[in-house]
Amino acid sequence: MKKWSILVAGLFVLAVAIPSYAFSKANTVILSVDGGYEWFAPKRHLESTGIGYVLAGYNFTDHWGVEGLAGMFTSYSRNNGNYNQQIRGKQLAFDGVYHFTPVKIARQVIEPFLLAGVGVNHYNSNNNNNDPNSEGNINAGAGMHIFANDVIALRLEARDFYTITGGKNDFMVAGGVSFFIC
């Protein structure tokens, strides 16, 4: 937890020190520290759990950009053969993002966005009898940035991760802090 606090503080100092402006403008870098909750597909036999992740993005235009996500989680098996066995996981995603034109609602600037892309989920148990498992996915989601000022925004989003092999649908809701740097 201390590492996350240091990372957030460092990103805050960096965001304040570098000239920037609000909203998704062309040639803007977005850095986010987020956390959320992921509901796993019943076919996975995993307990739903919290997930922490970092996200980095770049906007090519005022509306179009890309983002990369890297997250980690710990869950427990719900499979009869290894019930309650700890499972550690990693989640990676690379998405195209479309930012809608920001709107001002009750003194807050809100910028909705849609995203879609590809990714990988990696699962590893602590049991030496089970091999690690990596599965490709496609994902899509929607969210919004609620700007506190020109540099910092609250990020809220919901995503669906669909594993192509086996047809498993995982759903995540998350929130965090985004820093906009030009």
Q: Which tokens is 15 given?
A: 């965001």
Burial of 182 (0-12, 13-18, 19+ CB in 10 A): middle
- Nearest to 69, CA basis, from 128, 155, 133, 151: 155
Give the count of domains, the chain: 1
* CATH code of the domain covering residue 101: 2.40.160.20
For the CA atoms of 24, 54, 47, 129, what is the dihedral angle to 10 degrees?
A: 140
As a whole number, the mean pLDDT across the chain is 85
Pair 146, 121: CB distance under 8 Å: no
- Nearest to 113, CA basis, from 149, 141, 152, 150: 141
Q: Enumerate the β-bridge partners of residue 122.
A: 90, 134
pLDDT digits (tens, 9 = 90+) for 65-91: 999 999 999 998 887 777 778 888 999
Q: How far is CA 91 from the centre of its chain?
A: 9
Pair 133, 47: CB distance under 8 Å: no
- In the chain, which residues have pLDDT < 70? 1-23, 126-131
Q: Domain of residue 11: give its range.
A: 2-181
